[in-house]
Chains A and B, each alone.
Chain A
Amino acid sequence: MARVVLTTVGGALLAAGLGTLLLAFYALSLILFVFATFLLAFVGGEVLTFAYVIRGFGPESFDARRVECSSFVPVRGAAFVGVRIAPRIATGFYAEVFDSHPDRLETVGGSSRLLTWWAPGSVKTLAYITTPSVRGRFELGPTVVVAHDTFGFAFCAAALPTPWTLESIPRYPSVRIRRAERFSTPVFGQSPDPARGAGMDFHSLREYATTDDPRRIAWTHSGKGTLYVREFQRESQEEVLVLLDVGRAMAAGPVVADALEKAVDAAGLAAQYSFDEDIRFGLVLFSDRIVSHLPPGRGPDHEFAVARALAGVAVDSHSSSLTAALEYLSPRLKTPAHLLAFSTAQGEAEELARVWGALRRSGHRLNLFVPDLRTIYPGLPSATSQRAFDLLLGPEIVRVDRQAEVLRRLGVPVARYGPGGAAADVGLIFAPVRGRRVAA
């Protein structure tokens, strides 16, 4: 059963009634006595009547359920949210109803709030259209019902469990591809692993030509006088695997544009390019453990799973270990893959070199993207503050530089990304393969 809470107005008026009563005793004024007794009786009567009317008020006295809510929405898209609430209270009351949602969901239609008289037996429906300003998983609910007395002297609140998750899926616009030589090798097309044969994946039908192998004639589709042959395409052997460090060090930078956010943008772009070019794409989220692993794959379901995974990426409170992620992948990578790692490369340099050395010998390639800590933070207003901040950041910058140098010596191209993100560099990696199908 919920508790009645006196509001500031109610409590103050009760205190004013008592104060007036004291002054009435001082002046022995009839009008003050009458005023005081009226005030006290009025406030007391109102609060006690309210407490009686909403007896039994609580989450269990409502039947609340979500109706027709959207589950997925693109960033800046429109999602629909609806809640229907039926009370089991026999008397009417004033109520404020609001559906809790994060601030980053902007309501653009309808309202997530209602201030109304709730007649007994009537059903209330909250419906609104909301748009997320950023990617992410947004937890909606609970839906809170606050019962008010008529004059604002007391209230009673109940949180109705109406959980719902709205996932805001990012969109990745294409970027202009710059010259490939700006970014060091390896790039696509230089894989040492040759493709197998002519392939077995069905591609299309075309009319028979005399040079065609008769074994490819599609008899079931051929009619009198016209023969068709099946065309096959080569299976793609290319795999891209993005390793996304979600450790706490990736929170470097301003809140809404930190290193992880930039990495997510770039990873999304890599996914978009991969899917465009029919390249199998996988994703590993890691900190000091593997948070999530989507093995390389293709197809609409896989693309959606990747988009959802990227939408839900958030900074983990743990430190991170690129070595642990590579060790995890080592037995799982069946064919040579191109790894794109967005990480601060924490951990022992020698250990990292050892693990990567083994993977390199198996034919895998790695591009490492590290946040540029010198530029990712916006400048501070005063020179003294900036110097102090640089001093604090210094050891971490040195550490990242050292790790990058170790990997460079092993032939791993290392790129730094700052406030502009890593999209351009990712674009350069994919430049040789972008549009090859069109050209073919």
Chain B
Amino acid sequence: MNERTLATGLFLLPFLYVAARVVSLFPASALGVYFAVGLSLAIALMLARPEPSWQMVAVSLDITLAVLVAVSLLESKVVGDLASQLTVGVLIGLPFLVSALAWRERSGPAHRALALAFAIVIGTALLATREGGVATVHGDLPTNFVEAFFAANVNQIQGLADLVAGVANPNLPLRAVFDGTFAALCALAVAGVILVALRPRSGLDEPLPVAARMPVPSARGRVDRLVPFSSAQRAVFESRSPDEPPTGAWAPGLASIVFGAMVAGGFIAVAFATPLYTPLIVALGVTAELELMLIAISRPRDPARIEVTSASSTAGGAAPSAGPTAGGASQSEPPTGSEGLST
């Protein structure tokens, strides 16, 4: 199992748990719920595959589901409960759809992190709805669930506004529910996202050499290619540098991971010790970090711009004339070895 598959599995765990918890509310007769959840899961799995054909099928299914929900909502009198059942199914399946978009080949760690955060919020809202809203509402269960889901979110926004306004004990439905299993599974999902992000690589996603990889001797030039060259040139060619991993005991990048972990641990400690000051501390910390980064990335540099010139006067090229040629252009730095006509 490669790290990507493992990370995807970890990512999906909390939402499978939420789906199981919420779907269990509905009777077997609520086929629309099961159908929409199953379809969402299927779409997620198809979207995660790299083959374009699977992705085309997934997009088609996605459009079908959206049309189905829209039609059933518009014609609710005809289709009866199916509209609300499909809506509940889509709400439960939403984290899977989000995760599928985040785990495509082209998605980066930022997409995955944000998708996970969004999916956690939806999962929290679903659990809060399950625990707090549905049982108190009378009538059709899927309809009540949809209403309760949106009511929980509206109440959360209202509660946050009250909190900012200084109202004591505001109603915060998403905070009222704490599911330990969900939190633990979320922690695993976070670990999955971080696992994939912690691979040494360049900004263009090229893997950087690491010590874990056994150094393979780089391919040397064929001897017949080197025959026309001088012994000094051959010596330089043979001594060219290979791609090397770091050899120090302290792995590069480990300091940042440790620092991040310490800050996260510090946050937990502060949150438990002085919960009232936590938002202030977080805000100050983030502001300070952004300021420092701004200083680091806006440092003036010299020269103003790197010009990778490949100017040459070549056959068919439109480059300006290189000037008189009779005397021959001398190299600005004399070669250290032979500079005869290489053949």
Residues of A within 8 A of B (CB): 1-10, 12-21, 23-49, 51, 58-59, 65-74, 77-80, 82, 84, 92, 94, 96, 100-104, 108-111, 114-117, 119, 124-129, 134-139, 141-142, 144, 148-155, 157-159, 163-165, 167-169, 246, 251, 254-258, 261, 264, 285, 287, 291-294, 305, 308-309, 312-317
Most chain B CB neighbours (cut-off 10 Å) among A16, A21, A80: A80
Contact of A67 among B208, B289, B336 (CB under 8 A): B336
Contact of B328 among A109, A141, A308 (CB under 8 A): A308
Binds A, one of B47-55, B132-140, B142-150, B294-302: B294-302
B329 at the interface (CB under 8 A from A): yes
B209 at the interface (CB under 8 A from A): yes
Docked complex Cα distance between A104 and B8 (Å): 44
* Chain A residues with CB under 8 A of B302: 1, 58
7 contacts between A and B (CB under 8 A): A48-B293, A68-B233, A70-B339, A72-B339, A111-B240, A136-B315, A292-B324
Docked complex Cα distance between A19 and B205 (Å): 23
Docked complex Cα distance between A80 and B175 (Å): 68
B219-268 contacts to A, CB under 8 A, are: 221-222, 225-226, 228-230, 232-233, 236-237, 239-248, 252-253, 255-257, 259-264, 267-268
Contact of A30 among B183, B253, B296, B326 (CB under 8 A): B183
State whether A163 and B205 are in contact (beta carbons under 8 Å apart), knowing that A72-B340, A80-B237, A314-B319 are contacts in the complex.
no
B342 touching A31 by the CB < 8 A rule? Answer: no
Give, as a whole number of angstroms, the nearest-CB distance from B163 to chain A: 9
Bin the interface of chain B by size.
35 or more
In the complex, residue of chain A having the shortest beta-carbon distance to the beta carbon of B324:
A292
B110 touching A152 by the CB < 8 A rule? Answer: no
* Chain B residues with CB under 8 A of A70: 233, 339, 342
B286 touching A18 by the CB < 8 A rule? Answer: yes
B279 at the interface (CB under 8 A from A): yes
Give, as a whole number of angstroms, the nearest-CB distance from A323 to chain B: 20
A35 touching B190 by the CB < 8 A rule? Answer: yes
A103 touching B310 by the CB < 8 A rule? Answer: yes
B232 touching A31 by the CB < 8 A rule? Answer: no
Flag B137-173 by CB within 8 Å of A: 1 or 0 each.
0000000000000000000110010000000000010
B289 touching A16 by the CB < 8 A rule? Answer: no
Docked complex Cα distance between A209 and B243 (Å): 74
Docked complex Cα distance between A410 and B175 (Å): 101
B246 touching A117 by the CB < 8 A rule? Answer: yes
State whether A78 and B263 are in contact (beta carbons under 8 Å apart), knowing that A46-B253, A136-B312, A144-B306 are contacts in the complex.
no
B276 at the interface (CB under 8 A from A): no
B113 at the interface (CB under 8 A from A): yes
In the complex, residue of chain B having the shortest beta-carbon distance to the beta carbon of A148:
B202
B2 at the interface (CB under 8 A from A): no
In the complex, residue of chain B having the shortest beta-carbon distance to the beta carbon of A165:
B329
B296 touching A34 by the CB < 8 A rule? Answer: no
A134 touching B340 by the CB < 8 A rule? Answer: no
In the complex, residue of chain A having the shortest beta-carbon distance to the beta carbon of B110:
A12
* Chain A residues with CB under 8 A of B105: none
B271 at the interface (CB under 8 A from A): yes
Docked complex Cα distance between A79 and B335 (Å): 13
In the complex, residue of chain B having the shortest beta-carbon distance to the beta carbon of A29:
B124
Residues of B within 8 A of A (CB): 108-111, 113-114, 116-118, 120-121, 124-125, 156-157, 160, 172, 174-175, 183, 186-187, 190, 194, 197-206, 208-209, 221-222, 225-226, 228-230, 232-233, 236-237, 239-248, 252-253, 255-257, 259-264, 267-268, 271, 278-279, 282, 285-286, 289, 292-293, 296-303, 306-326, 328-329, 331-333, 335-343
Docked complex Cα distance between A137 and B256 (Å): 47
Docked complex Cα distance between A72 and B341 (Å): 5
* Chain B residues with CB under 8 A of A142: 306-309
In the complex, residue of chain A having the shortest beta-carbon distance to the beta carbon of B263:
A41
State whether A150 and B253 are in contact (beta carbons under 8 Å apart), knowing that A37-B282, A80-B342, A124-B241 are contacts in the complex.
yes
State whether A3 and B324 are in contact (beta carbons under 8 Å apart), knowing that A77-B343, A115-B243, A135-B315 are contacts in the complex.
no
A39 touching B221 by the CB < 8 A rule? Answer: no
Contact of B236 among A21, A82, A102, A136 (CB under 8 A): A82
* Chain B residues with CB under 8 A of A3: 297-301
Q: Can you name 18 extra interface pairs (CB under 8 A) apart from A66-B333, A111-B240?
A: A14-B293, A31-B186, A36-B117, A37-B282, A38-B261, A41-B264, A70-B342, A73-B341, A73-B342, A96-B202, A115-B243, A128-B240, A129-B226, A134-B316, A137-B313, A163-B332, A165-B329, A165-B331
Give, as a whole number of angstroms, the nearest-CB distance from A25 to chain B: 7
Give, as a whole number of angstroms, the nearest-CB distance from A193 to chain B: 26
B244 touching A72 by the CB < 8 A rule? Answer: no
A138 touching B253 by the CB < 8 A rule? Answer: no
Contact of B264 among A4, A38, A51, A92 (CB under 8 A): A38
3 closest A-B pairs (Cβ-Cβ)? A136-B314, A7-B203, A42-B260
Docked complex Cα distance between A15 and B248 (Å): 32
In the complex, residue of chain A having the shortest beta-carbon distance to the beta carbon of B286:
A40
A24 touching B117 by the CB < 8 A rule? Answer: yes
Docked complex Cα distance between A84 and B241 (Å): 10
* Chain A residues with CB under 8 A of B201: 151-152
In the complex, residue of chain B having the shortest beta-carbon distance to the beta carbon of A80:
B233
Docked complex Cα distance between A143 and B175 (Å): 56
In the complex, residue of chain A having the shortest beta-carbon distance to the beta carbon of B336:
A67
* Chain A residues with CB under 8 A of B336: 66-68
Most chain A CB neighbours (cut-off 10 Å) among B221, B228, B297: B297
A314 touching B205 by the CB < 8 A rule? Answer: no
State whether A314 and B237 are in contact (beta carbons under 8 Å apart), knowing that A37-B264, A68-B337 are contacts in the complex.
no
Contact of A163 among B125, B333, B337 (CB under 8 A): B333
A2 touching B342 by the CB < 8 A rule? Answer: no
A59 touching B303 by the CB < 8 A rule? Answer: yes
* Chain B residues with CB under 8 A of A100: 308-310
Docked complex Cα distance between A39 and B326 (Å): 62
* Chain B residues with CB under 8 A of A314: 313-314, 317-322
Give, as a whole number of angstroms, the nearest-CB distance from B283 to chain A: 9
* Chain B residues with CB under 8 A of A72: 339-342
* Chain B residues with CB under 8 A of A315: 317-318, 321
* Chain B residues with CB under 8 A of A110: 221, 237, 240
Contact of A10 among B203, B237, B261, B341 (CB under 8 A): B203
A150 touching B203 by the CB < 8 A rule? Answer: no
